Structure formats: C-alpha cells, structure tokens
Structure 1
C-alpha cells in the first residue's frame, strides 16, 4: 500500500499529503499567528478583482479562513487523486502520468472544495471583534487622571467602552471658564479631532440652560 502511495505517478498526491501535515503542525504550534495576514490580503484582492470576484466566491474563498480552505483543498486533491489512480489501475492495469493525474484531480478538487466550503463555513465558529469606533466613546463617562483640565490645556482621562475595555483620551471642558480636577467624573459630549470635550457630572459644573 505504501509503495502505491509513493510511486512516481502518485507523487503529486503524496506531496499534497505532506504539505497538509505541515499546515496542521504549523496551526497546532501557533506559528501561523506570526505569518502575514493572508486572509486580509485575499479579502482586499477579492474586493477589487471585478470578474475574478465571482470566481473566488464560487471557489469558497472568503467563506473560510485561507489556511482552512487550503487544507480542505489539499485533502480533497489527495483523496481524489489516489482514488482516481486506483480506479484507473483497476480498469486499465496502469496509472496515469503524474502531470495528467494531478491536473484531473485538481479540476475535480476545486469545485468539490467550493461545495464543501459553504456548509463548513456555517458550522465554524465566527470571530467576534471587540474593536470600537472612537466616536462610540461620546456619551460615556470618563475619570480624569492626574492634573487639571482647562480649556486649551487638556488632561488625560480614562473611559470604559461598551465591552468593558479601558481607553485613555485627552479631554478639556466644553465650556469656557470650567476646569476639571484629578479624579473627577466627566461626561464626554463631543470630539474635536483627537480631543474630547466634556462636562462634569458634578452639578456645580453643569452648564445652565437659559430660557
């Protein structure tokens, strides 16, 4: 059996098997965390590819992480190749040349990968991001750090986003004549570039409504 797997006519499929094992070892070892963001690069290419967009979508690229898609393709290519060669040998008594066998197996493995990528993408856990827009901090309370914040002299404050993650921003009073002291609780009311305007939670600092 091992001789059949490694004979010259089946070398493309043996190579796919070794490459698949290599990908699995990289994944389990965590080394792929240091690799370039291939999935992001692929997304960028798909977004601007025009006619190629439809082809890549048909193949299932973008539905699965690129490493998972590649592993699935290699597995199907290997299995289809070995089964095909064994079937040809049983019928004709000989094997196809490696270049022809690899071409035919690849032509079958591509659509097979695309078909399996769809249901596999539905059952795979999705990554959830906790990244927030800087504008989402407007309307949240912040605690002023050390120093005093005055108009034209901002100070650093800590604000917690909707996911419970801290952010440190520069704040100054939204109204002239106000100043905030260290430890004071502030409401971020608007943003001017990288600078946040705030009002104090304390009643003595709240602006009066005229009329």
Structure 2
C-alpha cells in the first residue's frame, strides 16, 4: 500500500513527511521553542505584507508554522501525484510535482497557519524577547553567584514559561546562594544582573 510513496515521484513528499514528524518529536520532548529565548523578531511586514500572506504575520512560532507548511506540502504533493496517476496513468516527474505542491502547500498553509494562530493562543507565550525577563524575580538553581562568577537561575515570565539564565549580583559586595531569589534589573548580552530580595531598594517592592 505504501510502496508508491517510496518511489522517486513521491520522494520530496516522503522527505517532507519525515522532517515534519522529526520536528513534532522534538517539540514533544521539550526541545523546541519553549526552551529558547529569542531576542529578535521577524519584521518588515505590515498588514497585507508577504509575511501576513504566508501566515507568519501573527504570533505563531516559526517551528509550528514550518510543521504546518510541511504537512500541507506533503498532502498537496500526494494529491497531485494521485490525481496525475488517475488521469494519465502515471505520476508526474518529481520536480514538476514538487513545484506544483509548493505553490499549493503555501496557499493551504496560509489558511492553516492563520487558523492555528486563532485557536491556539497559548503558542503566543512560547517565544518572548529576552528583555521581557527584566523586572522578574529569579531563583538561583545551584552554586553561588558573585560578581565575575555567575550562576544559573530560573525565571518565570508573564505567561508562566520557565527560563534558565545566567545571573550575577548587581552590586559588587552581594552574593546569591542556591535557593535565593533576586530581581533581574539589567542585562548585558546573555548575562543578567540582579538585586537580592533582601536589598534595601527592594524592601518596599
């Protein structure tokens, strides 16, 4: 039954299907967008722009969009080859089929991606700007953070998503031990600087 899908005319769609499954597995075991801090955003598209047309103008994470596109490409390709076989007795050569499926897949994915962005609003919380963690409290996971010797801290963003960042005390004389909580007040690159909860500036916060 599945033998035709292993032949050259179906090869692009078989590969797309395998990649789609691989991305899905990566997301399922927690190695996807939920563990990444993205400092940049895709820009340059206004209302009606190319990114909006492709379904990337909303808040859908790129890996979810890509998985949807691969699925639409695979479905379109199989449908094209099955239709060609029914009408002409043989599937199209894979380059022609792949070109047609790319166009059809983009059109299908525009609808699918926009639909996913509407019905799965929780995806909006999986990718945030790193600066969005500032003014959040973090908990030191292990070791002691001192100036010049950062330690790992766990920070939960506004959406309940946990992030692990490297933290140093803001003041030279402070130290943050395992289990201590501190307020992230500034950032330099990937390194955050924090004030311990017992700091005089935070007693009223």
Task: Please classify the TM superposition score into its range, dividing by the shorter chain length.
Answer: 0.5 to 0.7
Segments of 4+ in structure 1 off by > 6 A? none
Question: Gaps (5+ residues) in structure 2?
Answer: 138-172, 176-180, 184-194
* Inter-partner Cα distance in structure 2 for 1:11 and 1:102: 9
Task: Give matches, 1:75-90, under 5 Å.
Answer: 75-90=71-86
Question: Gaps (5+ residues) in structure 1?
Answer: 138-153, 161-165, 173-184, 189-211
Partner of 2:197: 168
Are positions 1:187 and 2:204 aligned together? yes
* Contact 1:159-1:168 within 8 A present in 2 as well: yes
Deviation at 1:33, TM superposition (A): 5.6
* Contact 2:60-2:113 within 8 A present in 1 as well: yes
Partner of 1:6: 6
* Contact 1:64-1:117 within 8 A present in 2 as well: yes
Deviation at 1:112, TM superposition (A): 1.1
CA gap of 1:15–1:159, structure 2 versus 1, over 3 A, is closer
Deviation at 1:2, TM superposition (A): 1.2
Partner of 2:154: none
Partner of 1:112: 108
Q: Aligned with 1:95: secondary structure? A: coil
What is the Cα-based RMSD across aligned positions, in Å?
3.8
* Inter-partner Cα distance in structure 2 for 1:26 and 1:116: 21
Q: Aligned with 2:200: secondary structure? A: strand
* Inter-partner Cα distance in structure 1 for 2:174 and 2:22: 52
Query: Bigger relative contact order, structure 1 or 2, given CA contacts below 8 A and separation 6+?
Result: 2
The alignment's TM-score, normalised by the length of structure 1, stands at 0.57
Deviation at 1:86, TM superposition (A): 0.5
Structure label with greater radius of gyration:
1
Deviation at 1:32, TM superposition (A): 2.4
